[in-house]
A and B are shown apart, each in its own frame.
Chain A
């Protein structure tokens, strides 16, 4: 199956700092999503981004499908950004129906 690797595994920031999270994947993808899992366990959609660049407030994401990676940028971080960030992909081809394969996540801690 497709491999998804996220880096760094852990990230500690002071409030106001910027950060970049990376997701590498081993095969072509139909679907790539970034999620934030809050301390209560809820997976919150950040971006649906199988290719290209999107921005939403302080967050932006870029996927370079031909090079098999995606980046999530967080600017001016806030304590509420703390949690686990997951990248999830669906391999293209075959009949995966949208089945997502998740990376191991990046644990982000933002200190005041």
Chain B
């Protein structure tokens, strides 16, 4: 498997439940992003890791959302006390290198996503 993988692919949660979504990046990829895609919309940025450091979490919609990447590889997005408005596809993307000194960044490769439905 050379690509980004995510699990589970589908998750149904009752309102108020906690969920954990996993992202396995391409081996050796330094940068990792989480995006949220609502139905009929383009993906929207949630958070960014460079190795194990979470450098930007400005897109997380509330303090119920938490992400980690403790060893700089696998990442987990956790949503506490899920609400119906959290229903969306959650996408993980990884990049081989950190940004260049010029500011230019490299190609992002996306996983298949986790479709979360909150009832």
Q: Chain A: residues with CB nearer than 8 A to chain B?
A: 4, 30-31, 33, 35, 40-43, 45, 48, 50, 86, 88, 90, 92-93, 95-105
Report the nearest B residue to A91, measured CB to CB.
Answer: B103
- Asked if A88 and B42 make an inter-chain contact with CB atoms under 8 angstroms apart, the answer reads yes
Q: How far is the CB of B108 from chain A (nearest CB, A)?
A: 6
Using Cβ atoms and an 8 Å threshold, which residues of chain B touch A30? 103-105
Question: A40 and B48: CB pair below 8 A?
Answer: no
Q: Is the CB of B112 within 8 A of A99?
A: no
Given contacts A33-B107, A45-B109, A92-B103, 5 further A-B contacts (CB under 8 A): A31-B104, A40-B112, A98-B33, A99-B33, A100-B35
Query: For chain B, what secondary structure do more than half of its interface residues adopt (helix, strand, loop), or is it mixed?
Result: strand
Q: Are B105 and A98 in contact (CB under 8 A)?
A: yes
Q: Do the beta carbons of A41 and B115 come within 8 Å of each other?
A: yes
Q: Which residues of A contact B70 (CB under 8 A)?
A: none
Binding site for A on B (CB under 8 A): 31, 33, 35, 41-45, 48, 50, 55-56, 59, 89, 91, 93, 95, 99, 103-110, 112-113, 115
Q: Would you call A97 and B42 a contact (CB within 8 A)?
A: no
On chain B, the residues within 8 Å of A104 by CB distance are: 41-42
User: In the complex the two chains form, what is the Cα distance from A50 to B109 in whole Å?
Assistant: 16
Chain A residues closer than 8 Å to B107, beta-carbon distance: 33, 45, 48
The contact of A103 among B31, B35, B42, by CB within 8 Å, is B42
Q: Are B89 and A105 in contact (CB under 8 A)?
A: no
Min CB distance B6 to A, Å, is 11
